[in-house]
Amino acid sequence: MTEQEKRLHRCCFAGHRPEGILLSETTAKDWLRYQIQQAIAANYTTFITGMGMGVDIWAAQIVIELRAANPSIHLIAVEPYPSFAAKWSEEWRSAYQEVISKADLVKCISQRYAPDAINNRLYWIVDHSSRLIAIYNGTKGYTGAFVDYAQTQGLETILYPFPRLNTGTSPRPYPLNLIDAIMESPAYLSSRPIELSDLPTISTGGFQLRFQPFPATMIPARSSCHDTETGRRCRKSPLLSA
């Protein structure tokens, strides 16, 4: 099998650290598990994690768990340099080392700290994958750069369906207090769109918001779309539209 053929069966992950994820750990893990299972059903057999705190390690732990019942699944752990987790908390260092010890392959980008090792890790992961599963809240930073590069390279990109606001330029996340209000609204699971009148008084910058609910017992279905700025095809599930 050629490298290009192998790439077609590889899936990678991207996402924020726990403090920036805007989700509970349980919610994030449940969504990751569902997407990993979907990837396996679509004949993805190798999963690549960048070993970052949060999404990367959670996804790797799920792959390791699923591998116990399906030995055809493989995990590649990509660390930018050996001391990457040296300053993390004991809990996260322990999780990091456990994933490293259980990975089928460990790829170390640089044998010592180097300023470009983090970005080179991103390029290596994307260049060896064909699908990206990401929990990305729309903010600028490493995760945003990861998603942008993956889409530039033609990866099928599956994003967690954060509510997003179309400002006329580019989508951005809703403030957390608005998301909380939506989730608490009596109309949340109704068949009609949620209007601002359903919600507590919240500053929204003058935008009229409509919410498309989904069944509580199901993961939101993904919808095909095009990035209007780049023309690239992606897969995401906007829950709110302006």
- Regarding whether 133 and 47 lie in a shared domain, the answer is yes
Q: Which domain-ending residue is among 138, 160, 182?
A: 160
- Regarding whether 118 and 195 lie in a shared domain, the answer is no
Work out the average pLDDT over 120-137: 95
Q: Which domain-ending residue is among 104, 133, 160?
A: 160
Q: What confidence tier does 138 reach under pLDDT thresholds 50, 70, 90? A: confident
27-41, 45-59, 176-190: which range is least confident on average?
176-190
Token output for 241 = 């539209």
Q: Which of 77-81, 163-167, 199-203, 214-218 has the highest mean pLDDT?
A: 77-81
- Regarding whether 150 and 166 lie in a shared domain, the answer is no
The answer to pTM > 0.85 is no
> CA neighbours within 13 Å on the CB side: how many for 158?
18
DSSP character at residue 175: P
* Mean pLDDT rounded to a whole number for the chain: 77
Work out the average pLDDT over 122-150: 92
- Regarding whether 189 and 72 lie in a shared domain, the answer is no
- Regarding whether 213 and 154 lie in a shared domain, the answer is no
- Regarding whether 108 and 30 lie in a shared domain, the answer is yes
Q: Which domain-ending residue is among 99, 127, 160?
A: 160
Return the pLDDT at 28: 92
- Regarding whether 51 and 39 lie in a shared domain, the answer is yes
Q: Describe the strand order of the beta sheet including 46-49 as a list of residue ranges.
A: 105-108, 74-79, 46-49, 10-15, 131-135, 156-159, 233-236, 223-226
- Regarding whether 152 and 172 lie in a shared domain, the answer is no
| DSSP per residue, 37-97 | HHHHHTT--EEEE---TTHHHHHHHHHHHHHTT-TT-EEEEEESSTTTTTTS-HHHHHHHH
Q: What confidence tier does 162 reach under pLDDT thresholds 50, 70, 90? A: confident
- Regarding whether 166 and 156 lie in a shared domain, the answer is no
Residue 166 and residue 216: Cα distance in Å, rounded? 25
**What CATH number corresponds to the domain at position 87?**
3.40.50.450
| pLDDT at 166 > cutoff 60 | no
Work out the average pLDDT over 98-103: 98
For residue 131, the surrounding DSSP H or E stretch is: strand 131-135
- Regarding whether 195 and 101 lie in a shared domain, the answer is no
| pLDDT at 32 > cutoff 90 | yes
Work out the average pLDDT over 76-92: 96
- Regarding whether 166 and 151 lie in a shared domain, the answer is no
Work out the average pLDDT over 128-138: 92
- Regarding whether 87 and 75 lie in a shared domain, the answer is yes
Return the pLDDT at 23: 83
Return the pLDDT at 183: 53
Question: Is the Cα torsion angle 5, 100, 23, 17 positive or negative in sign?
Answer: negative
Owning domain of residue 28: 3-160
Domain count, the chain: 2
